Homo-oligomer: A and B are copies of this chain.
């Protein structure tokens, strides 16, 4: 039986680890907030008291953490305590340059590291249908496939170490923008007194259709901003996007604008809401009650 050490059992990592148990993996999970290991244990996984315990006997280490410094800290412990040769799959969304550095650093110490950031939200994590962009070596990806196929619906090798994160950055740019545009459209329709649910039905069927509209249109109309994916995390991701764009000399007018809007939403105290709360920002900007 393949043993997976899974670090980070939040909104995304929790259901991913649970799905690995169901698929027949032995999963030893660790989370800084211990209560979050409950779902894993209920499904038949084990809870570890720390990173070292979770990864010591693992064949594969998986991480799903909020930000670049978290991944750097945890992987430093992993490289200390896991068996050399272990395959490390980082599902987190972090800076592409940090992902490439960590892969190189792990490589020097005998580890094989893949960046495998995911998209598809909490529902995709629960359903095991995440879209995963993988950066790293072909051979290592082949060894990761049994795990990736459990958590993902679409798994694509997009290039060397860091390339997965670059694609994820592009994903976050599009998703943030699509959310903001949908929010602007819904506030616009409401202000004109149009039946918003009827309008969403027709928008869905034409060129304006999108996964964001399918997943977040109705919840914007219902003012339901329960996360899901938190504004503060998407704000962090837009920092990655804008700095990676700047480094490549690429001008992203809408990406830069929506980064500012997410920053405003967070600054106004809504960092803990779902990113669809951009609807609330557009409403407030327009002097309308939310």
Contacts and interface: CB of A to CB of B under 8 A. Distances in A.
A132 B273 CA distance: 34
Given A206-B211, A207-B215, A250 B159 contact: no
A154 interface: yes
A64 to B, nearest CB: 15
Interface string A230-243: 00000000000100
**Prevailing SS type, chain A contact patch:** helix
Given A181-B178, A185-B174, A192-B248, A202 B253 contact: no
Interface string A276-290: 000000100111000
A268 to B, nearest CB: 15
Copy total for this chain: 2
Contact of A194 (B158, B209, B286): B158
Interface string A188-202: 110111110011011
Interface stretch (A35-43, A69-77, A164-172): A164-172
Contact of A131 (B195, B205, B286): B205
Nearest to A119: B206
Contacts of A154: 201-202, 204-206
Which 4 residue pairs across A and B have the least CB separation, nearest first? A119-B206, A154-B205, A131-B206, A131-B205
